[in-house]
Amino acid sequence: TRVVTETVIETVEVAVEPTGAPCSKDLIVCMAQEPDTLYQYGGTMLAARHVLHGIFENDITLLSYDYQAQGIEKLPSLTDGDAYLETVEVKEGDLVLNTAGDPVTLAAGVMVQNADGEEVEFSGDPIMMQQLSSEFTMKPRVWSDGTPVSIDDSVYSFELQSDPDTPATKFLIDRTASYEATGDLSVRWTGIPGFLDPTYFTNFWPPLPRHLLGGYAAAELLEAEESSRLPVGDGPFKIVDWVAGDSIILEKNEFYYRQDEGLPYLQSVTFKFIPDTNQLVAQLLSGQCDIGTQDGLNVSQSPFLIEAESSGLLIPYFQTGTVFEHIDFGINSYGDYGDGIGRPDWFEDVRVRQAMTMCTDRESMVDNILYGRSEVIHTYIPTVHPLYPEEGLTEWPYDVEAANALLDEAGYIDNDGDGWREDPATGVPFRVTLGTTTGNEMRQQLTQIFKENMVSCGIDIELYYLPSSEWF
């Protein structure tokens, strides 16, 4: 049973009555966290991403569950010919992708997919495999210090991410055979044989200014001011000051390549750090903040924000995402746990799983835990996703009567009248455990509602909570 729980309070804007005066071109964004670094490969904080989006151009955007070219001329495609598959010969010692999806050195006994799509075991003789390439052309751009951006800056970015001292994911790096310039603004990515990357059209490395950073070792860039505190970018804004514990100030980049389009519309953007969420909301209400980011707000503040919206004071944005809360059935026993010590196969019968779904009031979970600002989902993607099926999707409504009828049909009956159904084979009461993480108020509320729902279907739920470290 699933409930979408990534109901993100993406931003909160202040609602201002029009006065006839010109709008300010200075935006103040308030967030709870201060970035730990502004080096592209130095961290993953959301707060840093907010700032970096202003300093560096977005080469590829991801909006409405799709990809769009922005800082590059187009997304390469197999149809257009700027992405292509080649059949290549591989031999012992070559780096390839095996059938398990891992990059390996080709040796006897390694399983690979040959050029015909067949899974074969390498015996020592050369075989033919497919190799994927994609070509990108960067739009002419200029760093905020006035130096033109070159495609070599993109190659430099690839080299930095490849460096062992750079603490960034090496997933794509390990599956890349080459990334090389093919012109002043063009570059070609080639994967290792067998790596047929479905998102090949995104394999462009965002440029970093080699002329400013090239004198540093990769490890030094993690702390260097030129990379981590005051980076030079090619985006609509440039950083002019970072006051530790207070704010980061960006101003319009006079060299921005889209300035002829009137961009950016703003003169400056100030990111203020306000760790106290109540203070952040107070400054939104007083007009000291124009926008509050999601890291400074939480779901528990939703009632106040909704009330403020109805009063015309704030404009909160709630956005459902692709992360959802789910309860998983342990259908088959694992190892020594289960049937060998008397646990019935409660969930082998699909009717039991269907009944428990219909016995769960998921709409109540959305209304009471997420204040009605999310939705019950019936598959793995939300209703706003372009691939969401318009018809043919089975939905399981909240229907206690139908749920109990299915359980009766499956043979789980309350024979002794104690309120709990029993397993027809063993007479064991229908009692199962449900565990989730500690310290998560929303999940505790959700599991309590689930436990209460199951009572109406004669199923006893025992709840337990463990730290995330024990689950994952």
Map out the domains of the chain with their CATH numbers: 2-59+215-319 (3.40.190.10), 68-210 (3.90.76.10), 331-471 (3.10.105.10)
Q: Which of 137, 132, 133, 131 is nearest to 182 (CA)?
A: 137
pLDDT digits (tens, 9 = 90+) for 235-251: 999 999 999 999 999 99
Q: Identify the pLDDT of residue 264.
A: 97
What is the mean pLDDT of the segment spanning 437-453? 94
Lowest mean per-residue pLDDT among 119-128, 131-140, 144-153, 386-395? 386-395
Lowest mean per-residue pLDDT among 4-8, 169-173, 342-346, 409-413? 4-8
Lowest mean per-residue pLDDT among 10-14, 132-136, 209-213, 286-290? 10-14
pTM of the model: 0.84
Residue 208 makes CB contacts below 8 A (sequence gap 6+) with 40, 153, 156, 157, 160
pLDDT digits (tens, 9 = 90+) for 282-310: 999 999 999 999 988 888 888 999 999 99
Report the alpha-carbon distance of residue 118 to residue 133 in Å, rounded: 21
Tokens linked to 370: 């997420």
What is the mean pLDDT of the segment spanning 59-69? 95
Q: Identify the pLDDT of residue 425.
A: 86
Q: Identify the pLDDT of residue 1.
A: 44
Residue 320 pLDDT grade (very low, low, confident, very high; cuts 50, 70, 90): confident
pLDDT for 116 beyond 70: yes
Report the alpha-carbon distance of residue 407 to residue 353 in Å, rounded: 9
Residue 340 pLDDT grade (very low, low, confident, very high; cuts 50, 70, 90): low
Q: Identify the pLDDT of residue 8.
A: 42
Q: Residue 148: phi, psi to the nearest 5?
A: -60, 145
Q: Identify the pLDDT of residue 331.
A: 80
If 0-12 CB within 10 Å is exposed, 13-18 middle and 19+ buried, where does residue 50 land?
A: buried
**What mean pLDDT value characterizes the chain?**
92
Report the alpha-carbon distance of residue 415 to residue 411 in Å, rounded: 11
Q: Identify the pLDDT of residue 9.
A: 44
Name the more confident of 318 and 161.
161
**Within a 10 A sphere around the Cβ of 115, how many other Cβ atoms?**
18
pLDDT digits (tens, 9 = 90+) for 366-384: 999 999 989 999 998 888 8
Residue 352 pLDDT grade (very low, low, confident, very high; cuts 50, 70, 90): very high
What is the mean pLDDT of the segment spanning 117-127? 97
3-state secondary structure of 90: strand
Handedness of CA 159, 162, 164, 169 (dihedral sign): positive
Rg (CA), the chain: 28
Burial 66-95 (b: 16+ CB within 10 A, else e): eeebebbeebbeeeeebbeeeebebeeebb
Q: Identify the pLDDT of residue 300.
A: 82
What is the mean pLDDT of the segment spanning 13-22? 54
pLDDT digits (tens, 9 = 90+) for 391-438: 999 999 999 999 999 999 999 999 999 999 999 888 999 999 999 999
What is the mean pLDDT of the segment spanning 44-73? 96
Lowest mean per-residue pLDDT among 16-30, 79-93, 100-114, 140-154? 16-30
Whether residue 234 contacts residue 54, with contact meaning beta carbons closer than 8 Å, is answered with: no
Whether residue 247 contacts residue 272, with contact meaning beta carbons closer than 8 Å, is answered with: yes
Q: Identify the pLDDT of residue 414.
A: 96
Name the more confident of 105 and 424.
105
Residue 377 makes CB contacts below 8 A (sequence gap 6+) with 2, 3, 4, 324, 383
What is the mean pLDDT of the segment spanning 66-79? 98
Q: Identify the pLDDT of residue 23.
A: 74
DSSP string computed for 428-456: -B-EEEEEEETT-HHHHHHHHHHHHHHHT
If 0-12 CB within 10 Å is exposed, 13-18 middle and 19+ buried, where does residue 398 land?
A: middle
Q: Identify the pLDDT of residue 314.
A: 93
Largest CA distance in the chain: 83
